[in-house]
């Protein structure tokens, strides 16, 4: 109600003028960090992917526009620059600053003819990323078409007071900047409409994650060497990916230790969800030391690496799918991407009680109903499953799973056609 009153009483130009003054007072001047050389003689498609998760979900679409012409791939987190560059070496990659004043300079350096926001934020400051209304406002000033693809809602509160003010003043204006709002589900569509989106702009296309099952991964030289070593070993391998919390580290490691009592040569590869946080890696090390387990960090492996210790900690980004490919069994941390190991025909184990606000939840729900994954309750069940899955693989079930996943694909081509209907790229 407050948003509607403010929007009705104060016109957008005046609201923007007042907010800009507040923004300058709070932030001062921030500099844009560009990872590659400038080139002002080309037109670019700007694609915003906050994290590696959104990039993986929309990977085929990003590749489509890279094949068509020049792409400026944007993230709001510097830690992803290396992995984004690796997966899309022909794209320019940069950090999109929350300070919208840098957008005009970026527009001059990389003139945009089309802008795409991948998955989040569908509503202003609704998700665990930061994309200012000011960025979209600047693009519209230059008459750039803007599309949301694979849209999803988290329902998060703004991260700070300034974001709360921006959301209060401009949430509907943010939605109105989009020429297309392509979303995953009818529920997301109805929420956007309730917040002021125009009906003709909002389309349900499904989830593009299902289109990426067979997408190849560009590997670092180090990862290629690691895979070669793992393929030469005859030890059973348990890979736990996207493990998020300390209690989940404890569960995975404890289950591994229990399973190792039966499978004495069993090895564990564990990929924390946030390896950029030192406290997370310290906590994981502490748990491994409690069990007297020998371990290495992936980032510290050298070219002379020839033998996996008990545990390998994956403290790098963007290579997890490659490690799933050599696993005997896989565990996926709560609320994260189960499709990567499923697409590789791997037995997948998860815990129950996933959070419904995560974009992974609809995938989880479908997988549970179709019996594609094994849902567990504790470390003992996980240990038992590691042992049993290593001893038995049902090829018929694997084929059923792949057929089901294929039936759910097609969202990427729908999004490409929708974008074509409102804009034709200059090539």
Per DSSP (E only), the strands in 326-383 are 329-332, 348-351, 374-376
Please report the pLDDT score of residue 1 as a whole number: 60
CA 102 to chain centre: 24
Angle value at C-alpha 321, between 380 and 62, nearest 5 degrees: 140
Nearest to 326 by CA among 305, 304, 344: 344
d(CA 411, CA 207): 6
Please report the pLDDT score of residue 36 as a whole number: 46
In the chain, CATH 3.40.50.11720 covers 2-213+410-422
Please report the pLDDT score of residue 35 as a whole number: 43
Residues 6+ apart with CB under 8 A from 113: 43, 44, 45, 144, 423, 425, 426
d(CA 71, CA 44): 5
Would you state the torsion angle of the CA atoms of residues 311, 316, 318, 322, taken in this order, to the nearest 10 degrees?
-30
Considering the domain 2-213+410-422, what is its CATH architecture?
3-Layer(aba) Sandwich (3.40)
Please report the pLDDT score of residue 40 as a whole number: 55
pTM of the full structure: 0.89
Asked if the 221-407 domain carries CATH number 3.40.50.2000, the reply is: yes
Please report the pLDDT score of residue 392 as a whole number: 53
Please report the pLDDT score of residue 34 as a whole number: 44
Per-residue confidence in pLDDT tens, the chain, 427 aa: 666 666 768 889 999 999 988 888 777 655 544 444 445 568 999 999 999 999 999 999 999 999 999 999 999 999 999 999 999 999 999 998 777 888 888 888 899 999 999 999 999 999 999 899 999 999 999 999 999 999 999 999 999 998 999 999 999 999 999 999 999 999 999 999 999 999 999 999 999 999 988 777 788 888 888 998 888 888 999 999 999 999 999 999 999 999 999 999 999 999 999 999 999 999 999 999 999 999 999 999 987 788 899 999 999 998 999 999 999 999 999 999 999 999 888 999 999 999 988 889 989 998 898 888 999 999 999 999 999 876 555 566 667 777 777 888 999 999 999 999 988 766 5
């Amino acid at each position: 109600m407050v948003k509607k009153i403010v929007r009705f009483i104060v016109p957008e130009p005046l609201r923007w003028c007042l907010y800009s003054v507040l923004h300058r007072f709070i932030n001062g001047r921030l500099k844009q960090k560009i990872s590659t050389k400038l080139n002002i003689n080309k037109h670019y498609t700007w694609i915003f992917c906050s994290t590696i998760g959104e990039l993986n979900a929309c990977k085929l679409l990003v590749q489509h526009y890279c094949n068509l012409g020049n792409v400026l791939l944007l993230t709001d987190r510097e830690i992803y620059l290396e992995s984004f560059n690796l997966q899309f070496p022909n794209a320019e990659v940069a950090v999109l600053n929350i300070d919208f004043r840098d957008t005009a300079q970026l527009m001059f350096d990389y003139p945009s003819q089309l802008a795409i926001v991948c998955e989040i934020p569908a509503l202003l400051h609704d998700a665990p990323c930061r994309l200012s209304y000011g960025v979209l406002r600047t693009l519209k000033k230059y008459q750039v078409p803007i599309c949301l693809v694979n849209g999803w809602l988290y329902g998060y509160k703004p991260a700070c007071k300034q974001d709360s003010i921006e959301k209060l003043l401009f949430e509907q204006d943010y939605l109105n900047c989009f020429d297309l709002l392509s979303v995953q589900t009818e529920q997301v569509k109805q929420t956007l409409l309730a917040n002021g989106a125009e009906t003709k702009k909002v389309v349900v296309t499904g989830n593009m994650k299902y289109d990426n099952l067979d997408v190849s991964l560009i590997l670092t030289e180090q990862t290629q060497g690691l895979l070669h070593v793992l393929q030469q070993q005859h030890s059973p391998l348990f890979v736990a990916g996207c493990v998020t919390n300390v209690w989940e580290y404890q569960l995975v490691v404890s289950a591994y230790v229990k399973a190792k009592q039966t499978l004495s040569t069993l090895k564990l590869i564990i990929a924390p969800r946030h390896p950029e946080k030192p406290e997370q890696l310290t906590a994981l090390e502490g748990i491994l030391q409690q069990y007297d387990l020998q371990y290495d960090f992936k980032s510290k492996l050298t070219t002379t690496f020839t033998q996996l210790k008990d545990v390998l900690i994956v403290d790098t980004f963007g290579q997890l799918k490659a490690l799933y490919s050599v696993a005997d069994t896989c565990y996926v941390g709560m609320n994260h991407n189960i499709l990567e190991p499923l697409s590789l025909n791997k037995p997948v184990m998860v815990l129950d009680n996933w959070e419904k606000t995560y974009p992974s939840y609809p995938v989880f729900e479908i997988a549970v109903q179709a019996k594609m994954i094994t849902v567990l309750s504790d470390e003992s069940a996980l240990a038992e499953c590691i042992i049993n899955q290593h001893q038995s693989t049902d090829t018929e079930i694997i084929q059923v799973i792949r057929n089901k996943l294929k039936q759910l694909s097609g969202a990427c081509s729908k999004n490409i056609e929708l974008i074509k209907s409102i804009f034709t790229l200059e090539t």
